Structure 1
């Protein structure tokens, strides 16, 4: 993917395909990079992603990847070592019909990083199509889709907006996951799922959709749950989260009683929820309240706060 996109004259991270820890460590040692990202070639949900600052770290991270299977159960035969980019993360959800590309959603990521882990997804917020950043990402993403030959498919593209412009992280010719299309449509006017359905069932609606002027009022945030304790999932956590004044949908990823470990990547989150309100202040207040509850043991039943409490 990176080689193809780079050949089209588009920015991608400096990369090394490593079949051994020694190859990965040697590449980093001679790269003049301050930090690298090591990850499997094919996986999902930030599986196996690790930030490294030394050749020894790169060696260990590559060994971990090669000694494991990805989330699809396939053995990792190589690791991808890339320059760690500095900037703001986005994902752009598109639908393409006969080479005509349209953006259904653009979202800005906020992530956390902790020692010894990969990126932890914190929350995402939609970006109005009329903003300069959205227009820049739209043009770059369309060029990536052309370079990759995506002509009839939804696509989920992750891009880092750096000081020098957009840089591709990855593209998947698929719908974006971990979303609630009805919530997105209600608050943003369009979802990728709805636009993909229109492309198949009502082509005129796809043709008439103008992706350059899509915007909305109010504030919306998709918040990933973050668990801090070893334990078992407590169903009351979802009930309490739903009682937040701006909560509009709660989406658990675990069943009651299922073992939980501290969240280290997207695969170990207990789920997510959407917060929506007229003002960003209310969304931020409820977000901070949720994070405090989580630190107090919300997901493993260690929190005894009455549902509906709003104290941060």
Structure 2
């Protein structure tokens, strides 16, 4: 139920108990789970729509659309106790609105450090923190010149991409020319025209995610995720991610201190951070940092796998006087992984007959599909083209590993997707 009422009516009739009102900018991805938790806790929850429509299965207290000609006036008259991003696309507007309304948030004057990868790397380097060699290029010829001087392979991506959107490892001149051309002056996943690309030296090592919450300008790390990739016809695609507690002996302590320093350098002073790091032979190097929670089902998996609550800590970090909920040691209460499903070709999805086999796996928890019968299904080359996510959990990691291998067997046999 999405209600559209004038702000004075909202204040008078929709919040008679004077409950805390939390607005989520683009409540998709992690924002979906944050909104559900806010409502479970008895808060009012408001959807500020941006790149996605508000989820229809959440009973938002009211909603605002940033494309509405009266948006600024309506928001100014609304009453909010906190405004937070639900997805990468909501970071800029959430920071701007929070500052405008005098609420807790990150400084909108430095938003570029948390969204633009060139500005991000510059801020980190200026703080004396190691970063990989990289350059911002506005033409294919500039990309080629930098790569020739630096050496292949190189990583090429839009400056403000997220979720692996248009991120490619280019081994040759031809591959670099083709991919840089595909990015420049083309819309990214949020519809923004890409005027420049970021080109980076390839970082060899293991890829990790580090997820935490900043409250009172102190970072609490909740989970460290370790990715595993597989080679699919020359493309390195994501196979799975395992989540570890920050105190786990398998976690390199250098990553934790590195991420704390990076968080300060880019100016995150409140709310969630999602940091991607390569652990190289010379130590950790930043891939990127985002001032929002882990996307997809990641935030929910972390919340279910560790205590105290990750999602409650995100919410509380924005509420003046609230406990961030992250005192003491972060403890993993169950072993969890996310498997990334793969489609080895593009086409139209006719059916998904193998989904029942996945649901019957011993460690199966839930499935999140991004495409439905009748939709176009892309060939999987990155996170953005992953057709579905599977949450797996079992006390025995060997059971999870066996279930992931079963998923790959189903994919290799063509049993999961029927594609025309």
Cα offset for 1:42?
1.2
Cα offset for 1:218?
5.6
- Residues 1:14 and 2:133 are matched in the alignment: yes
Number of equivalent positions: 298
Which residue does 1:309 correspond to in 2? Answer: none
Cα offset for 1:115?
5.4
- Residues 1:223 and 2:342 are matched in the alignment: no
Distance 1:239 1:177, change over 3 A: same
Cα offset for 1:291?
0.8
Distance 1:143 1:265 in 2: 28
Q: Which moved more, 1:12-21 or 1:231-240?
A: 231-240
Cα offset for 1:24?
0.8
Which residue does 2:144 correspond to in 1? Answer: 25
Which runs of no fewer than 5 residues in structure 1 stay unpaired?
A: 303-312
Residue pairs, 1:111-190, within 5 angstroms? 111-114=229-232, 117=235, 119-131=236-248, 133-179=251-297, 181-190=299-308
Distance 1:233 1:185 in 2: 34
Which residue does 2:124 correspond to in 1? Answer: 5
Distance 1:153 1:233, change over 3 A: farther
Which residue does 1:101 correspond to in 2? Answer: 219
The structure, 1 or 2, with the larger RCO (C-alpha pairs under 8 Å, 6+ apart) is 1
Q: Which moved more, 1:123-132 or 1:228-237?
A: 228-237
Distance 1:185 1:34, change over 3 A: same
Which residue does 2:396 correspond to in 1? Answer: 279
Cα offset for 1:259?
2.4
Which residue does 2:43 correspond to in 1? Answer: none
Cα offset for 1:282?
0.9
Does the Cα contact within 8 Å between 2:313 and 2:325 map onto a contact in 1? no
SS across alignment from 1:38: strand
Distance 1:165 1:30 in 2: 24
Using structure 2 for the length normalisation, give the TM-score.
0.66
Distance 2:363 2:227 in 1: 20
Distance 1:55 1:260, change over 3 A: closer
Distance 1:203 1:295, change over 3 A: farther
Q: Which moved more, 1:13-22 or 1:40-49?
A: 40-49
| Offset from partner CA, 1:77-133 (integer Å, 9 cap, x none) | 11111001011111111111221111122111112344565x422110012222353
Which residue does 1:234 correspond to in 2? Answer: 351
Which residue does 1:261 correspond to in 2? Answer: 378
| Offset from partner CA, 1:44-69 (integer Å, 9 cap, x none) | 22222221233343233211211522
| Offset from partner CA, 1:117-169 (integer Å, 9 cap, x none) | 5x422110012222353532221111001111110121111111111111011
Residue pairs, 1:268-307, within 5 angstroms? 268-301=385-418
Using structure 1 for the length normalisation, give the TM-score.
0.87
Cα offset for 1:191?
5.1
> Considering only CA atoms, is the larger Rg found in Structure 1 or Structure 2?
2
RMSD over aligned CA atoms reads 2.3
Distance 2:398 2:279 in 1: 26
Does the Cα contact within 8 Å between 1:35 and 1:54 map onto a contact in 2? yes
- Residues 1:53 and 2:165 are matched in the alignment: no
Does the Cα contact within 8 Å between 1:88 and 1:161 map onto a contact in 2? yes
Does the Cα contact within 8 Å between 2:313 and 2:326 map onto a contact in 1? no
